[in-house]
A and B are shown apart, each in its own frame.
Chain A
């Protein structure tokens, strides 16, 4: 049983505050995440292609000589196509390459030629549409700074446990973005979401396509044991919908289901503290009857929201920090320990305390909400 641990108020020596991220990123120019992401997906693409449908007959290769076979994504179609000899100049302008890629994407989408995993995660859509759409928000609007990314393993299952805040789950989206864009292994965070989310049209659909699944032990354990990085916000609606005056005060951590899932699968727990999300939509009021009418957990009033109408949906540009703490290894325990409520409770508390202390430390170092 873990003893109550003393959590230092300083950052741990190894992680430090990796400000280098910011500087280096700037040096390499704006195209950094895009370029790396593309390379990453291409490297993974062939494997997935072959694993998915070995015998699937492709459309006859004779149909259309594609304009630029060299750029063909999977190579198999392009190889059979006679090379178009009369390419006037070897170096087409960048916008044309971009256009070709967009058209290829559209063709793939329109003909349904992409693969989705059992949970409904659509990597093609996530990489080509959702991530690029959120990147400006991540880089320019919130200027997210990540700390301690090296605590997230390059491979294998792990459970990222984070604090939830901000009325709308932008913190979830930004954490996905952080791990995908900044982590050296470009890890995909598979979030566990509340059932309410999957009941909503469009939101539920997009959440699944972006890798989320229902927060239940069956799904969590299945994902973790297949080596996925799983993210969970144990506070749930209590955390995301708490009033602004309670900002950065962690709410109750549910029943510790996430700990028992991690114990059963033996993956480490990575505490993750997100600073900045609380200030995106400061919830200063709640119209409970309206929320009940809509079947929502709360109907927030922010300084801008019902007042400015749709303009109120623009989040305040707070400066964000996402810190991944030292992993809590569960190697010392056996799956049977998941049945020990006392142990589960203690571990839950340890994770919660770690996050809470990291939040306090990050807050004490922050000078300004908007400038960091």
Chain B
């Protein structure tokens, strides 16, 4: 994965410096769009191209400023023309999609994720100018189970390979990127394995889950969760795009929250569902389109997952500004979630009981 002293190293004028033309995929979504906006605000970068199959919202387009939107499908070989035509030297692949609902079904999502990445990497391999590829991956590649170690570091592999869904896509895509890195050893490849994002603006399966008034959980299990603030996610992606950071990195905030604790912090009511009923309840919730819950996410809510971010801090040199708890609180405040069971009510009840106790004295 690391760049092994290639002949092209010498004639690379800018070395590990800022890129001149950056291509960002998946700009219609939160991370891609905002990353393009951040890169566009960097005067050292000549051009920023944003690619997606659907145009970003008007608001996002305005925020993207001088970044150019190219409506293209990365599954189509035409993407090679875009890359070579514009002389792209840095590719940030942020299009990996986790929710089948938002990408038109599981088959479409898989095709977009896997075939799209293959085409994109093929195009990168063809282009002489490309010298850096950044992949937005996920910590879901570690799976989730009862036999997992408490913390995963980058060198660990899952106990059971993900059998399907987003995690499997991500694992396959990482495999393609490794293959690409072998074929083009002169290109720096960075893989950023992100944990779940939260924040006032980002929309994910989990943010929708925590906004349910009654949050279904699996009875008798309380997984450990780790979050990353959306701004931290953008900052890491931006730094990976403009600096040299070869390798694989787990990206997550410090600290953990238990699922029950997160639900309480959001002022929601927890409803434990016995494990045998989890399947039907999950299907029902999927049917109502309230939350799009895939079996792998069910497993995640069963056992949770925490990753070790030592490498991110020491080698990448990034320290998340928000801890898991702060990021989650920011999400709760930013969404103005009206607590079903708020802190005021709890304190009021506490006062009432104490006053009653004083009366009795």
- Tell yes or no: A290 within 8 A of B by CB: no
Q: Complex: how many Å from CA A53 to CA B325?
A: 8
Quick one: which of A317-358 are within 8 Å of B by CB? none
Q: Complex: how many Å from CA A260 to CA B22?
A: 48
B149 touches A107 (CB 8 A): no
> Could you jot down 19 A-B contacts, CB within 8 Å?
A53-B255, A59-B343, A96-B358, A96-B361, A99-B357, A111-B265, A112-B262, A116-B224, A116-B256, A120-B224, A120-B256, A195-B147, A198-B303, A201-B275, A204-B220, A205-B220, A214-B147, A214-B149, A216-B149
Q: Is the CB of A195 within 8 A of B146?
A: yes
- The answer to whether B243 has its CB under 8 Å from any CB of chain A is no
A59-B343, A112-B261 as given contacts; A67 in contact with B151, CB under 8 Å? no
Segment at the A interface, from B77-85, B187-195, B348-356: B348-356
B151's nearest neighbour on chain A, judged by CB, is A118
Whether A93 and B323, one on each chain, are in contact in the complex, defined by CB atoms closer than 8 angstroms, is: no
A113 cross-chain contacts in B, Cβ below 8 A? 265
In the complex, the answer to whether B323 meets A209 with C-beta atoms within 8 Å is no
How many A-B contacts are there with CB distance less than 8 Å?
121
Contact A107 B347, beta carbon cutoff 8 Å: yes
Task: List the B side residues contacting A116 at CB < 8 Å.
Answer: 224, 256-258, 261
Size bracket, chain A contacts: 35 or more
Closest Cβ of chain A to B210, distance in Å, is 12
Residues on B with C-beta less than 8 A from A200 are: 220
Q: Which of B151, B354, B361 contacts A100 (CB 8 A)?
A: B354
Do the beta carbons of A204 and B350 come within 8 Å of each other?
Answer: no
* A200-221 to B contact mask, C-beta < 8 Å, 1/0: 1110110011000110101100
Bound complex: CA A52 to CA B256 (Å): 10
The 7 closest A-B pairs by CB, nearest first: A201-B220, A112-B264, A112-B265, A218-B149, A199-B146, A202-B220, A112-B261
A112-B261, A112-B262, A218-B156 known; A118+B350 contact, CB < 8 A? no
Task: Kindly name the residue among A64, A109, A112, A113 whose own CB sees the greatest number of chain B CB atoms within 10 A.
Answer: A112
Chain B residues near A39 (CB, 8 Å)? none
A198 touches B256 (CB 8 A): no
B218 contacts which chain A residues (CB < 8 A)? Answer: 201
Are A115 and B147 touching (Cβ within 8 A)? no
B2 interface residue per 8 A CB criterion: no
User: How close is B84's CB to chain A, nearest CB, in angstroms?
Assistant: 44
* Per-position binary interface string of chain A over residues 117-144, scored 1 when its CB falls under 8 Å from any chain B CB and 0 otherwise: 1111010000000000000000000000
A309 in contact (CB, < 8 A)? no
Q: Determine the distance from Cα of A114 to Cα of B265 in the docked complex, in whole angstroms.
A: 10
Whether A222 sits at the interface, judged by CB under 8 Å, is yes
**Cβ contact of B150, chosen from A55, A96, A112, A120, cutoff 8 A:** A120
Q: Which of B146, B151, B153, B348 contacts A198 (CB 8 A)?
A: B146
A110 adjacent to B346 (CB under 8 Å): yes
Closest A residue by C-beta to B218: A201
Contacts of A120 in B (CB 8 A): 150, 222, 224, 256, 258
Q: Give B198 Cβ to nearest chain A Cβ, in Å.
A: 14
The smallest C-beta distance from B151 to any residue of chain A, in angstroms, reads 6
Interface residues of A in 33-79 (CB under 8 A from B): 52-53, 55-57, 59, 63-64, 67
Question: Contact partner of B255 among A67, A92, A115, A204, CB < 8 A?
Answer: A115
B220 near A96 with CB under 8 A, answer no
Q: Is B236 an interface residue when CB atoms closer than 8 A count as contact?
A: no
Q: Is B11 an interface residue when CB atoms closer than 8 A count as contact?
A: no
